[in-house]
Every structure is written in C-alpha cells, then in structure tokens.
Structure 1
C-alpha cells in the first residue's frame, strides 16, 4: 500500500519544499514529512499536484514512459477559432520539437476560485476557456502551445493527472488516498478517501 496526497497548488507557489529566494513553497501548505511531488507544476500555474513518500509510485506517475495524461483548464486571451484548435490538436512546432497530438475543446467558463491577484483583463479583448489534455510534459508546454496560435495563456489550472482529479479541492487544500495496486493510466487505482486539510 502507498499513500498519495492530492494537493491544489495555489498560484505563485513553488512545487518544492525549499526556496532560497523566499518564495512560497509546498512547506507553507502541507506538513506531511518525507513526501515529494510526482512531477512539477509551474510557479504561476495552479491545480492538481500529486505527492507521495513512495519513490516507486512517484516514478510511475511522473516518468514520461508511463504517459499519464494531464488535463488543464486554460483561460486564453482572444477567440479560439477552429484553425487554432485544429493546430493545437494536431501538434505545434516548438523550439524543442513538435508536440504530440492533444485533446482540445472549448470550455464554458468553469466555476473556479478567484485568483489572487486576479487575471489581467484588457478592454475590448475577450477571454475564453479551453480544456487541453496532454500525454507529455515539457517545460511550460501549454503556455507555449497557446502562444504559438496567438492565444496567450492568462490562467492555467491542472484538473487531472491520470485517474486522479482535482475535484472540489480549493487552493491550499489537500486530501490523501491509500493505493492498493500499481498505478496504470488505463486501469486507474483502488483507494479509500483520505482527509482534507483546509
């Protein structure tokens, strides 16, 4: 059995427990000893971050070979037309190579907590939301992909990693699960609900 912690990482919190520059870290949110994040989430991104004290579990979740899909809700500046969506779905040429095909769809404005500070709004320039699911995890990939099709990312919230979902966790909240079987993106995991810290 392994313990897994599902955390809603707030905006401008590092996905690590220490920082020499005095920025907010995971240590300000979760006080479980000897746990480490399974992968990363950018400083300016929000949403689901998985942590565990089981190194093998962390490897199974975070290693690219296991291709755990990651789903994001993305607020972009501008109007996502059909051509832009087709480009995102088919692959974007970035400076580190072509991205893999992604699942992309328009999203009605989701019910998400207000961000502090709020997202900048420019007069006469609309914003829209997309749901993007990737099967790879390059540095700032979603932001670079949307910028390539002239839809700058204003807000990025990860809502799922493999079989795990953010659910109703608010920024800074977490819950724990106990896994009884190896993790596979196809079979998911068996677990019992843990606790939520507010």
Structure 2
C-alpha cells in the first residue's frame, strides 16, 4: 500500500536521509524505510514536507508543471506595504526569471506558532510583520528572493500548506501517515 507522510520539518534539518555531518536529517525524525521527500525545504526553512514511497505521486507533488499551490507564512523585516503585496501578486523579476503571479496578504502572527531555535534575529529599531504567500512554482530560495526584491527581507519562512494538505497540529519534528481514507482522496 502507498505511504504518504506529512512532516513538520524543524529549522536546521536537511531534507535528505543520508547524513551530511553538520545537520540533523530526515532519518533523525522519520523511522520509515523507502520514503522520499516530494520537494524540498531549505535547511533554514520550516514547515510542511510531504514524503511518499510512490514515485508517481512524488513527481506529481514536486514537479513545477503540475503547479500545486504552496502557502508560506513569512515573517519579514519591516511593515509590509500594500505596494509590495501588489508587486508580489503581479510577479517579481528576480533577474534570472520572473515569478508567476502569487497570492499575497498581510496576516497576524499565526496562532499557535512554535518558537524557533535559534530565535529569529530582532532589531529593536526595525519592526517585523507577517504575510501569507501562495506560489505555484518553487525555485531555489524563491520566496526569500521575492520578499527581498520588494524590500522586505525574510526573517522566518514556514511552509503551511501544499495543495490541500496543511500542518494541522503537527509540532516541529512530528509526522503523521495519511490514513487509507485520506489516501483515497489523492
């Protein structure tokens, strides 16, 4: 039977099972053989990662041509402006490519958000704010590059949703396997 696992990747964890010598890996959290990440999150990003033993599903979830929406909670340096949100929604020229239009909105700090180790750097003279950003691409460090380009560097990046799957109540480092009924809806 096909396995699909939702995992809340903590900050500092590498999205691979083989040891890299510097950081914890998926193997330190998920004791299930023969599953692989469908997509990646940078070591300094947190949140939802989907793992599966189904190569076809892994390709469908990870490949950009399927344009599966991914929603991120992004803490940025400064008070996000309406002009910057509009720029994100129109698409941002990052030099090597122009991003597809995104959905962007200002949000309050997400409820139940866990603390991060190490904590996010704060400067007393510079406020921070949160946005929810939904993209259908997923190029290397894209969200961080997008917010920086519109003048608001990312301080913390948490993937909250992929398609219809969400973090729900998974704490960092926790995972859950989808049930047989949930798998029928894929």
SS state of the match for residue 98, structure 1? coil
| Structure with the larger strand share | 1
SS state of the match for residue 6, structure 1? strand
| TM-score, normalised with respect to structure 2 | 0.95
Q: Superposition RMSD on alpha carbons, in Å?
A: 1.6
5 Å matches for 1:32-71? Answer: 32-71=32-71
Long gaps (5+) in structure 2: none
In the aligned structure 1, how far is the partner of 2:143 from the partner of 2:119? 20
Deviation at 1:179, TM superposition (A): 5.7
In the aligned structure 2, how far is the partner of 1:20 from the partner of 1:169? 25
1:135 matched to which residue of 2? 136
Report if the CA contact (8 A) 1:102-1:133 is conserved.
Answer: yes
* CA shift digits 1:129-180 (9 cap, x unpaired): 0000001011000000000011010000000011111111000000011467
5 Å matches for 1:69-148? Answer: 69-111=69-111, 112-148=113-149
In the aligned structure 2, how far is the partner of 1:45 from the partner of 1:156? 5
1:190 is aligned to 2:178: no
| TM-score, normalised with respect to structure 1 | 0.89
In the aligned structure 2, how far is the partner of 1:34 from the partner of 1:12? 23
Deviation at 1:181, TM superposition (A): 9.0
Tell me the matched-pair count: 185
SS state of the match for residue 122, structure 2? coil
* CA shift digits 1:6-52 (9 cap, x unpaired): 00000010010113333111011111001100000010000000001
Q: Could you list the structure 1 runs, at least 4 aligned residues long, displaced by more than 6 angstroms after superposition.
A: none
In the aligned structure 2, how far is the partner of 1:166 from the partner of 1:91? 26
In the aligned structure 2, how far is the partner of 1:179 from the partner of 1:71? 25
Q: Pick closer, same or farther for the CA change 1:121–1:35 going to 2, 3 Å.
A: same
2:166 matched to which residue of 1? 165
Long gaps (5+) in structure 1: 183-188, 192-198
In the aligned structure 2, how far is the partner of 1:132 from the partner of 1:163? 15
